[in-house]
């Protein structure tokens, strides 16, 4: 965290004879809009004729060595802030199953297309001790990376975790991404989950996210001020846990 993006290159795999080129045009335009929003420039790209449509970006940026925020700096008593709701993986699975409502799809698009730029800029004003983003390994996977790197134990309050409302309905229908089970398998031996949690609370922490939010560790005296500024800037931020003690092995507890 704390990096400034400079340049971007498109990487595209596209089935040119199966999908309208207009879709590719709109995708590239959307990517360009986000590149500019992030303050970078597009310098080219590579494309491949492929059976499955894929799009991504290769980004080059800079960060001052003294201003980089790693996932290894959590301290006992730090509070934890999450800046985006969970559930994008569940909703994406519902989309694949042709079950997702347009409202749910719109919420997914808004969440996934919102950059973490503003949240990062606000966070840096309040001397965060540690930060990571929540993506494919789910909330549990990335939180576990933080505790292992920081050698601490953190306590997460499941009822404080924000999620996209429709994810609850789709999860109850069994629309859980395959990646969720892999995430759970990877994490479960290094975490404790309260037996009192309902099934959805257990599912959502392993849900693989697309362009998820930031998980921020911050001193208690700075937490409320940081949270207030995040919310005032339209960021769906919540205090979701705290660092409870040092632990050489790193441990994650969900209650």
3-state SS, 177-236, equals CHHHHHHHHHHHHHEEECCCCCHHHHHHCCCCCCCCCEEEEECHHHHHHHHHHHHHCCCC
Confidence of residue 101 (pLDDT cuts 50, 70, 90): very high
- Bridge-partner residues for 154, per DSSP? 243, 252
Could you tell me the sign of the dihedral formed by the alpha carbons of 101, 106, 109, 115, in that order?
Answer: negative
Residues 90 and 164 in one domain: yes
Mean pLDDT (whole number) for 62-71 = 89
Q: What pLDDT, in 10s, does the model give residues 109-143?
A: 999 999 999 999 999 999 999 999 999 999 999 99
Give the pLDDT of residue 39: 93
Owning domain of residue 46: 4-62
Cα separation, 21 vs 101, whole angstroms = 26
pTM of the shown model: 0.92
Residues 51 and 85 in one domain: no
Position 2 pLDDT exceeds 90: no
Give the pLDDT of residue 4: 81
Q: What pLDDT, in 10s, does the model give residues 73-100?
A: 999 999 999 999 999 999 999 999 999 9
Question: Is residue 87 situated within a structural domain?
Answer: yes
Residues 102 and 33 in one domain: no
Position 200 pLDDT exceeds 90: yes
166 membership: H or E segment, kind and range: helix 165-172
Question: Is residue 113 situated within a structural domain?
Answer: yes
Q: Taking the CB of residue 189, how many other CB atoms lie within 10 A of it?
A: 6
Position 10 pLDDT exceeds 70: yes
Residues 34 and 159 in one domain: no
Tokens of 96: 């694949």
Residue listed under structure tokens 């980004």: 59
């Amino acid at each position: 965290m704390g990096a400034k993006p400079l340049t971007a290159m498109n990487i595209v795999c596209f089935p040119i004879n199966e999908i309208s080129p207009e879709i590719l045009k709109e995708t590239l335009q959307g990517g360009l809009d986000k590149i500019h929003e992030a303050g970078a420039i597009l310098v080219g790209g590579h494309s491949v004729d492929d059976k499955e449509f894929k799009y991504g970006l290769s980004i080059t940026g800079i960060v001052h060595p003294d201003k980089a925020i790693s996932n290894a700096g959590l301290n006992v008593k730090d509070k934890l802030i999450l800046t985006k709701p969970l559930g994008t993986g569940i909703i994406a699975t519902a989309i694949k199953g042709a079950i997702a409502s347009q409202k749910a799809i719109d919420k997914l698009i808004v969440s996934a297309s919102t950059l973490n730029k503003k949240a990062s800029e606000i966070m840096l004003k309040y001397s965060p001790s540690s930060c990571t983003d929540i993506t494919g390994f789910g909330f549990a996977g990335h939180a576990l990376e933080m505790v292992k790197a920081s050698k601490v134990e953190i306590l997460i309050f499941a009822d404080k975790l924000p999620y996209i409302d429709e994810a609850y309905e789709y999860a109850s229908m069994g629309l859980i991404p395959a990646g969720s089970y892999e995430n759970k398998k990877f994490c479960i031996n290094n975490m404790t989950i309260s037996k009192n949690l309902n099934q959805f609370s257990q599912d959502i922490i392993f849900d693989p996210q697309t362009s998820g939010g930031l998980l921020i560790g911050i001193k208690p005296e700075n937490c409320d001020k940081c949270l207030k500024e995040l919310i005032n800037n339209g960021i769906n931020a919540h205090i979701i846990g705290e660092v409870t003690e040092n632990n050489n092995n790193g441990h994650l507890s969900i209650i």
